Structures are given as C-alpha cells and as structure tokens.
C-alpha cells in the first residue's frame, strides 16, 4: 500500500535521523573536550556503522519500494566506509610523519586526509540530495532545507534535526491532518480496504488519473484537493470493483497548479469512509 509504505519509510527516516543527530552532538562534545576526543570518535564510528547507516539504508530501501528514486542515497552510504578508512590511513601517516620529522610523510598523510574529506563530502552530498528530493516530493520545505544542510560539513547534524522534525508534519498531512496512529477501532473478521497503487498524476487542466485497489465493490461519491476549495463528482468510473481500478477525475476551473509539485486528494466512498491519494502535477 503506497500511503502506508510512505509512512513506514518516513518513520524509518526519522529513526535514522535521530542517530545521526546523536553522532553529531557527540562529535561536537569531542571537539570541545579534547581529552575525550578519541573516545568520542570511537563511539561515533560504532554508532555510525551499527545504528545510523543500517537504519538509513533501511529507510531508503522502503522509499525505493514505493517507486522513489533514492539510488544516489545508496551510493552515498556506500562511500562512507571507504572515506573513513582513507581518512584513518591519512591521519596515521600524517602523525607518523610529524613524530619522525618526515615532512614528506606528513605531507602525504595530509593529501590522503584531503582525499578522504572529498570522498566523504560526496557521500553526504548524495545523501543530502536524496533527502532534499524527498522534501520536494512531499512538498515539505523543512525536509528540503534539512537535505541541503546535511551536505555541509560541521553543521550537517542541524540538517538531520530538521529532517527528524519534518517527518511528523509530513505524516500529519498524509493522514489528513491527524497524527498516526489512527484511533483504535474494534477488530473484525474482515475489514474492506481501498488504497492507492503507485503514483497518480494531475494535469494543469485539473484532470487526475490514478489507480485504486479495492477489496470490495464500492462507489466513489466525490473527491477534493486538500487545502483548496476544489471538489468534483466527475469520476470515471465511479464504481470500484475488487482489484485494481484505473480512475479518471476532472476538477473544473483549477488554476495555480505547479508542474512537479505533489497534491493530496481526499476521496469519499459510498460506505462512509474516505481515503488519501497523492498525485504529481504534469504539464502534459
């Protein structure tokens, strides 16, 4: 289910962001308290590879399962380990050169450390771009800013803080203004389900095409574009049959749609329930 998987992926991103925040804070403490710098660095590396990276990879994998392009994020994650290994080698050589009074060895170590910094910058650049694109997909400026700040060394943890905070707002919008989880309902032997499959589109003239899965036969009564006054009953077909249903809706008089932006719909069904759908604006 696209909507439910999106929520799961966002919650995983929030979890991963928390660990990157912790790592960033510990790194700052290590820089201020020089005596504890080595210990903090070791703790940071352990948390990075045992918690933060696996959780971020899991979040990206869940986003990928919904059809979102997060391939650059995987590349960025894969560059972190070699970047840190190169950095450690360069640091060891530089320190060895200093203690042995070998300017050549110290300079070589410095060059290798610089190369490592470039590799790690590229790694977080790719990760930050994926976070930024997710912010664009969900129309969330805070997540977009977070993605940009993640790219910048020394303040990247601020970007992770913004990513962490933005998730709740995105989930609130996806769930129609109420935070997950939804209120408890008594279990039944069988609960009908209707949900969006894949990504829908909305054209500049207000025509929407999307696919809905239904486990029962039910009518679509109407639909509305969230946070606007646009509603429609022009739905074809307006009957959902069990299985996947290709639906076309027409919103009349729509203006101000921006190509590339996502818009959220509320679709009202004849059984008294409503569902959420997301569509991307396309000029054609």
pLDDT at 149: 96
pLDDT tens digits, one per residue of 250-265: 999 998 899 988 888 9
pLDDT at 37: 58
Average pLDDT, stretch 91-120?
89
3-state secondary structure the chain: CHHHHHHHHHHHHHHHHHHHHHHHHHHHHHHHCHHHHHHHHHHHHHHHHHHHHHHHHHHHHHHHHCCCCCHHHHHHHHHHHHHHHHHHHHHHHHHHHHHCCCHHHHHHHHHHHHHHHHHHHHHHHHHHHHHHHHHHHCCCHHHHHHHHHHHCCCCHHHHHHHHHHHHHHHHHHHCCCCCCCCCCCCCCCCCCCEEEEEEEEEECCCEEEEEEEECCCEEEEEEEECCCCCEECCEECCEECCEEEEEEEECCCCCCCCCCCEEEEEEEECCCCEEEEEEEEECC
Half-sphere exposure of 102 (CA within 13 A, CB side): 12
Class level of CATH domain 194-282: mainly beta
Where do the domains of the chain lie? 3-175, 194-282
Give the pLDDT score at 2. 55
What mean pLDDT is predicted for residues 79-91? 91
pLDDT tens, position by position, 143-202:
999 999 999 988 899 999 999 999 988 888 776 544 444 443 444 444 557 888 888 999
Give pLDDT, residue 191.
52
Q: Which residues contact 113 (CB under 8 A, 6 or more apart)?
A: 87, 90, 91, 94
Question: For the chain, what is the mean pLDDT?
Answer: 86
243 versus 188: the higher-pLDDT residue is 243
For 47-59, letters b (16+ CB in 10 Å) and e give bbeebbbebbbbb
**Predicted pLDDT at 278:** 87
């Amino acid at each position: 289910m696209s909507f439910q998987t999106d929520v799961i992926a966002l919650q995983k991103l929030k979890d991963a962001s928390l660990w990157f925040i912790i790592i960033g804070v510990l790194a700052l403490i290590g820089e201020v308290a020089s005596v504890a710098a080595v210990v903090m660095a070791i703790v940071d590396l352990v948390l990075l590879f045992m918690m933060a990276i696996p959780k971020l990879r899991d979040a990206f994998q869940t986003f990928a399962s919904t059809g979102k392009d997060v391939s650059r994020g995987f590349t960025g994650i894969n560059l972190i380990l070699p970047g840190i290994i190169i950095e450690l080698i360069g640091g060891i050589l530089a320190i060895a050169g200093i203690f042995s009074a070998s300017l050549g060895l110290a300079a070589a170590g410095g060059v290798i450390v610089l190369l490592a910094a470039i590799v790690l910058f590229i790694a977080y650049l790719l990760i930050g771009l994926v976070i930024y694109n997710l912010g664009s997909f969900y129309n969330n400026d805070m997540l977009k800013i977070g993605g940009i700040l993640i790219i910048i060394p020394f303040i990247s943890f601020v970007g992770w803080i913004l990513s962490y905070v933005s998730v709740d707002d995105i989930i609130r919008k996806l769930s129609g203004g109420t935070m997950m989880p939804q209120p408890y309902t008594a279990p039944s032997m069988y609960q009908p389900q209707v949900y969006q499959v894949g990504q829908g589109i909305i054209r500049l003239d207000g025509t929407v095409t999307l696919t809905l899965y239904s486990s029962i036969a039910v009518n679509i009564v109407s639909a509305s574009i969230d946070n606007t006054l646009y509603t429609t009953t022009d739905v074809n077909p307006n009957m959902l049959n069990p299985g996947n249903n290709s639906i076309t809706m027409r919103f009349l008089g729509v203006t101000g749609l921006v190509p590339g932006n996502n818009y959220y719909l509320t679709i009202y069904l004849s059984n008294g329930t409503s569902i959420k759908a997301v569509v991307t604006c396309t000029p054609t």
